[in-house]
Each structure stands twice: as C-alpha cells, then as structure tokens.
Amino acid sequence: MNLLLERLSNAFGPSGSEEAVRAILIEELASSWDQARTDSMGNLIVSQGLDRSGPRGLIAAHMDEVGFIVDSIDENGFLRFKTLGGIDARILPSKRVVVGLHNTLGVIGATPNHLLDKEDERAQSSDDLYIDIGARSRSQALELVGIGEAGTFHTEFGSVGTGLVKGKALDDRAGCFIAAQLVKAGVGVPVDVAFTVQEEVGLRGAAIAASQTRPDFAVVLEATTCADRPDPDAAGHSTYLGAGPVITFQDATSVPTRTLVDLLVETARERQIPFQWKETTLGGNDAGSIHLANGGIPTVSVSLPCRYIHTPCSFLARSDIEHTIELVQAFLTRISMEGLPR
C-alpha cells in the first residue's frame, strides 16, 4: 500500500499547481479506467462502469495541498510569499520548503532569539516571513524561482509509531490514494472519480467537476481534523486517530444528506467496520460545492482522521485507510443494488 501513498504524499501540489500529483494518478490508473479527461482547471475525472445500471456516483478527492505562492523577491534574493490555504503562520518559521517550477529547496528563516525582544510573545504573520533559497541577489533568485510560482513543505513520507504513517499533504493525498485503490480494484458501479484541484482555496475544482459529471449522488473522500492530542478527552478533539472512518453530520460548508449518512452508518454496522462521527462542525471540504451543483446533489463525506493536518508532518493510521476503502466500496455496492435511499 505504501508506495503509491508515499509518491502522492511527497509530490509537489499546492493549490493551482497540482500537475505532478495528476501525472502520478494518470500513470497509476491509465489501465483501470474506461475513460478519463482533464478540464479547464486541471481536475482529472476518471469514469468506470457508466454502461451499468444504477445511480451514477461521483467520488471526489482533492489533489491540492496547502502551501505558498511567491509574490515578490527582494533585492537580496529573499522570496516573500502568501499562504495558499489555511496555514497557522506559527508553524512556518524554521521549515524546509520546495519552491517553483525547478523544485528549488529553500528554508523559511527565523530571527534568532538573541536579537528579539524577550517579552514579545506575538506570533509573526506570513507577511513577516521569507524563504531563503541561497541566492545572493534578486537576479540570482529569479533564475530559480519566478513570481507567482508556488511552494510547499519539504517532508519525507515514512512509517511512524504504532501503525501510523507521517508525511506532508496527507490531506488529501490519502483521499486520492483511496479513490485510486477503488478504481484499480474496479468499483463495479457507474461512477466518476474526480481528483480535484484548489480545494484548499475554496472548494473550486469540485464545483466544475460536479457540473461536468451530473451525478445522482456524491461521496467526498477527505482527510479531516484530528485534535486527540495533547488531551484525548478534550471536547474539541474532532476525531480520534485509528478509530475508523469519519462520518460528518454537519460542517462549515455542508449538511450531508441525512439518508446517505444513515446508509453509511448502517453499512458500517452491518459489515462491522469501525466508524466515528466528526465531533465538530468546524472545517469543510469539496462537499460544500458539490452538494450545491446542478440544482443540488445528495452528498456525504467519508474522512480520515489526520493528526497535525496542514503542517509539514501529519499522521494517519493505516487501519483508518483500510477501513475507509472497505466502507466506501460496501456503500457503493449497496446503492447500486438497492438504489438511492429515500
């Protein structure tokens, strides 16, 4: 299981620059799809079993990750940037990053303690920060990185702890990985699988993917917040790592269709697949734009708890990935046999 997830996690793909992720998915899935296309924004839409009877599903997972975009380069060759997507600027100082079309390695600098006011506890904003790529002047920097080019964290995927993996961009390369596994195995139902762009900057790609495919229902595969550390008992934990796929009852961008939510729960119980609720209404995902497309589409989210999401090093549990694949496959099979629940 690891190699594809590893390649996806390590791949460069901040919002608007998902090409490398898409290339990996095309290479991986080309022999498994019936048809596939890209669109004006860069979504990859793979179709399977459209000649079969039953409701047409849309499975969506986003290819993009949070990152940076270079908005200016100063005379000494330091890159100034804005963040792409929601990043807590406090995690940025003293991190390694990859920037631009040539995958240039850089570091986000940090002013030494010695030169700071010891009493000052205010965090810097991303506007105060800069990327050092080792250039000595603006012109040298421009040979490596252009204005408007994107960047992301430089992190190696790996195994950690007890049954966990670590890496950057697991939100939502893990969703892409699960969708790819479903396509490779053959879902056996009429389905379009959309690997979407620009989720992190406002659920953009999914909006047009839904319009193009005109599904009868949609399943969004996401990686979601998991704040079960430092305090597992805190009310704000959202989800628990390793406790199974996450079902959303409501978040900041959609109220998932209750009949589909109930069917997910019923399927999980019947198949004895562990699941958990997302115990917060904060955060959102592509369901937010999909459920509003084409005059409204019944939509649910199945997510993976992702500890330290939107940082250079997040954690996922392998068991959650396996259980999510199992649950989504069973759910799709059931809809194809029984039709959409009323």
Q: How far is the CB of 177 from other proteins (least distance, A)?
A: 19
**What's the CA gap between 283 and 170, in Å, rounded?**
16
The only residue of 55, 93, 202, 341 in contact with other proteins, by rule CB under 8 A: 93
Q: Interface with other proteins includes 272 (CB under 8 A)?
A: no
x/- track of binding to other proteins for residues 211-230 (CB under 8 A): --------------xxxxxx
Q: Interface with other proteins includes 90 (CB under 8 A)?
A: yes
Residue 285 corresponds to which amino acid?
Answer: N
The only residue of 269, 282, 296, 338 in contact with other proteins, by rule CB under 8 A: 282
**What's the CA gap between 286 and 194, in Å, rounded?**
11
Q: Interface with other proteins includes 95 (CB under 8 A)?
A: yes
The only residue of 71, 127, 128, 266 in contact with other proteins, by rule CB under 8 A: 128
x/- track of binding to other proteins for residues 237-256 (CB under 8 A): -x------------------
Q: Contact at 8 Å (CB) between 244 and 323?
A: yes
Active-site annotation holder among 18, 65, 149, 199: 199
**What's the CA gap between 18 and 38, in Å, rounded?**
12
Q: Which stretch binds other proteins (CB under 8 A): 3-11, 24-32, 114-122, 288-296?
A: 114-122
The only residue of 254, 311, 329, 336 in contact with other proteins, by rule CB under 8 A: 311
CA-only gyration radius of the chain, Å:
20
Q: In 3-state terms, what secondary structure has residue 305? A: strand
Closer CB to other proteins, residue 40 or residue 113?
113
- Count the neighbouring beta carbons within 10 Å of the beta carbon of residue 20: 15
- Taking Cα atoms as reference points, which of 168, 179, 227, 198 lies closest to residue 288? 198
Catalytic status, residue 199: yes
Q: Interface with other proteins includes 342 (CB under 8 A)?
A: no
- Taking Cα atoms as reference points, which of 2, 1, 4 lies closest to residue 23? 4
Compute CA 96 distance to the chain's CA centroid, rounded to the nearest angstrom: 20
Q: Quick one: tokens of 8?
A: 């996806």
Q: Interface with other proteins includes 140 (CB under 8 A)?
A: yes
Question: What are the catalytic residues?
Answer: 199
